């Protein structure tokens, strides 16, 4: 369902990695209440036929102040992200939301397997941060791949969480084949090695289609129904 549009003010900008930037927006007309995993639609004043509409997931759960935390990668020659990187504190954008069904099922009756590549981590980070704001009885595994260690945003946070939460299992993997230490297998291989025999899990997968779709197929070929898998595709 369409949500009303409103202006939002940029209240903070910071780099999370060489290519990923965080943007904090404060909606100026009404608070946007959302479930972790949802996204907002930005109407950007660029392109041949503005506005250019682009979706961005919330990176942090809802805040009492109503501010929204987004994180995006600067796509080379990307029109939308190329505009977003020019924004600075005090600038305004037009947005609407929330939208989307990439949310944790309720009640949660299975262990969760999160699989993300690159900025596909954004809604998953929001979900994990929300879930571990309270005690969790289910096992949760995060398989998270990035082009380089420096591009694994929130890596330190997930490492710290896995050190204190015995039911949070963090499996980062660096895909450039050049960094000596740590895991470098693609996420699909890691899924196969960890979950080949398990149908009693609920996978949540986020990234571009070429990444997400083979992983969903992997799980459906092992007997999961499509409704037992949740995906978010960025393109
Ligand atoms: C529901 C939803 C939620 C999204 N949430 C986020 C988010 O939290 N963070 C985020 O960075 N992006 C997110 N996106 C993608 C975002 O809407 C834009 O598509 C992205 O910023 C690229 O837009 P652009 O105009 O700069 O590039 P375009 O000119 O549209 O070029 C897109 C091309 O860049 C490549 N590419 C590289 N990185 C991305 C990327 N992140 N998303 C899409 N394509 C990419 C793809 O191969 C694609 O062909 C989301 C998309 C959807 C549909």
Written as one string, the DSSP assignment of 64-96 is TT--EEEEEE--TT-HHHHHHTT--TT-EEEEE
pLDDT, position 33 = 98
Q: What is the pLDDT of residues 67-119, one digit of tens each?
A: 999 999 999 999 999 999 999 999 999 999 999 999 999 999 999 999 999 99
60 Cβ below 6 A of ligand 1: no
From the CA of 210, how far away is ligand 1's center (Å)? 13
Question: What is the pTM assigned to this prediction?
Answer: 0.98
Residues 213 and 121 occupy one common structural domain: yes
In a domain, 11, yes or no: yes
Query: 119 near 58, Cβ under 8 Å?
Result: no
Q: Is residue 106 part of a domain?
A: no
**Total domains in the fold of the chain:** 2
- Of all protein residues, the one whose alpha carbon is nearest to atom 14 of ligand 1 is 234
C-alpha 170 – ligand 1 centre gap (Å)? 25
The answer to whether the CB of 147 is under 6 A from ligand 1 is no
Q: Taking every pair of C-alpha atoms in the chain, what is the biggest distance, in angstroms?
A: 52
Residues 115 and 202 in one domain: yes
**Distance from residue 74's CA to the centre of ligand 1 (Å):** 9
Taking only the tens place, the pLDDT of each residue in 154-203 is 999 999 999 999 999 999 999 987 876 789 999 999 999 999 889 999 99
Distance in Å, CA 188 to ligand 1 centroid: 21
Ligand 1, atom 15: nearest CA belongs to which residue? 234
3-state secondary structure of 203: strand
Range of the domain at 18: 6-99
Q: What is the CATH number of the domain that holds 55?
A: 2.40.30.10
């Amino acid at each position: 369902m369409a949500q009303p549009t409103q202006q939002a003010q940029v209240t903070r900008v910071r780099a999370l990695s060489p290519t990923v930037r965080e943007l904090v927006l404060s909606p100026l007309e009404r608070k946007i209440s959302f479930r972790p995993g949802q996204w907002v639609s930005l109407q950007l004043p660029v392109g041949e036929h503005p506005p250019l509409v682009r979706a961005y997931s919330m990176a942090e759960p809802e805040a009492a102040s109503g501010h929204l935390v987004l994180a995006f990668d600067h796509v080379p020659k990307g029109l939308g992200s190329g505009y977003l990187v020019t924004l600075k504190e005090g600038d305004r954008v037009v947005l609407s939301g929330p939208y989307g069904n990439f949310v944790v099922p309720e009640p949660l009756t299975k262990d969760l397997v999160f699989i993300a590549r690159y900025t596909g981590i954004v809604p998953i980070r929001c979900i994990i941060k929300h879930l571990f704001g309270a005690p969790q009885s289910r096992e949760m595994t995060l398989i998270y791949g990035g082009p380089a260690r420096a591009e694994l945003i929130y890596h330190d946070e997930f490492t710290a969480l896995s050190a204190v939460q015995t039911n949070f299992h963090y499996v980062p993997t660096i895909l450039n084949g050049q960094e000596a230490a740590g895991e470098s297998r693609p996420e699909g291989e890691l899924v196969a090695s960890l979950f080949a025999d398990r149908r009693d899990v609920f996978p949540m997968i986020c990234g571009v289609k070429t990444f997400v779709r083979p992983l969903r197929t992997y799980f459906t070929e092992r007997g999961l129904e499509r409704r037992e898998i949740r995906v978010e595709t960025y393109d």
